[in-house]
Amino acid sequence: MSDVPAFAVISGAQVHDTVHGREPEVIGLIETAYRLHGTGETTNPDSYFLRFADRPSARIIALPASVRGKVEVHGMKWISSFPENVAAGIPRASAVLILNDYATGYPLACLESSIISAARTAASAALAADRLAAGRGGMPRRLGIVGAGVIARYVHTYLAGNGAEFDSVGVFDLSPAHASGFRDYLTGRGQDDVRVYDDVDELLRENSLIVFTTVAGEPHLHDPGLFAHNPLVLHVSLRDLAPEIILSAFNVVDDVEHCMKANTSVHLTEQRVGHRNFVAGTLYDVLTGRITAPADRPVIFSPFGLGVLDLMLAKHVYDRLATAGQLRDVPGFFHDMSRYGAPA
């Protein structure tokens, strides 16, 4: 008979202390998750979007998943995106993640998960950039970032933490204050030549690695000519690019079925043309050498974001804290454990 596990609560501070400064290690975990997913060792159902009639810009998303292999864990991330938070001075996104014991299904832990979500997103982008750039002569040296929020910060951290070096970084945000703040953040960490752009089109034309980390709900860029210089594009925010741009590019996704939902740019493109032939393959295909990114076309990586990535990183955090004896268990969390009740 399996023992019922204890239930722990893991704070954002504990998550941060476990992953901060270990970007190559986290990227390796995310690569392992992609490889397990590619070989059928995961279960990753559709995400569920909770939306609100009175707040159309906001949503809360449930991402259930399971990872087999040597990881053996189930769980779900519950992540909210309320863009109006930014005006109030707090981050747009907040999240928790529940880990479930592989054998019993009992919850093991509740983790603060905005850091896990940001780290796995950034690690996925850095991994894709590294492997896609390898087929195009190496990592570009001019970085342009559209959307100067928390995810932009994490993506830059993981690119740099994975060895990328940039001669210049361009920043564009609809809020000049946010763009300037991000510029100051980058220069404060030793990045030379950081420029705030007033025109997003100019940023796109002048940079060869472009990262989108916006909250755009629909495409706002339509001209394929903006990408005529064949940049490598990390389309993390998924909905910035019109079908005309997608159709002009070599497209890589993390999971085809998941990306073809929720009116992402590739989903809108599928709806327009009635097929998916414009998708060259997945990141797993890149990792295994089935496809190689060309140098003579724009290359766009569109990661929908898989729950298995969150589980991989969350389980790693849980295991590290357990080994160090730093889990904070909740006594009595599971209370009524007798099938027929306590004896009189």
Q: Is pLDDT of 141 > 90?
A: yes
**For residue 77, what are the CA distances in angstroms to 142, 208, 213, 342?**
34, 33, 20, 34
CA–CA separation, 161 and 156 (whole Å): 8
What confidence tens digit (pLDDT) does each residue in 282-336 have?
A: 999 999 999 999 999 999 999 999 999 999 999 999 999 999 999 999 999 998 8
CB 92 within 8 A of CB 85: yes
% the chain with pLDDT above 70: 99
pLDDT of residue 336: 84
Q: Is pLDDT of 202 > 50?
A: yes
Domains of the chain (ranges plus CATH)?
Answer: 8-116+307-323 (3.30.1780.10), 136-302 (3.40.50.720)
Mean pLDDT of 21-46: 97
Considering the entire predicted model, what is its pTM?
A: 0.94
135 falls in which pLDDT band (50, 70, 90)?
A: confident
Mean pLDDT estimate for the chain: 95
165 falls in which pLDDT band (50, 70, 90)?
A: very high
CA–CA separation, 45 and 304 (whole Å): 13
What confidence tens digit (pLDDT) does each residue in 229-281 have?
A: 999 999 999 999 999 999 999 999 999 999 999 999 999 999 999 999 999 99
Phi, psi of 81 (to 5 degrees): -130, 105
Q: Is pLDDT of 342 > 90?
A: no
pLDDT of residue 341: 75
pLDDT of residue 76: 98
Mean pLDDT of 215-237: 97
What confidence tens digit (pLDDT) does each residue in 78-104 have?
A: 999 998 998 898 988 899 999 999 999
pLDDT of residue 20: 95
111 falls in which pLDDT band (50, 70, 90)?
A: very high
Buried/exposed code over 167-177 (b: 16+ C-beta within 10 A; e: otherwise): eebbbbbeeee
Q: Is pLDDT of 171 > 50?
A: yes
CA–CA separation, 16 and 113 (whole Å): 10
**For residue 74, what are the CA distances in angstroms to 63, 98, 200?**
11, 9, 41
Q: Is pLDDT of 1 > 60?
A: no
Report strand pairing: 142-146 vs 209-212. Answer: parallel
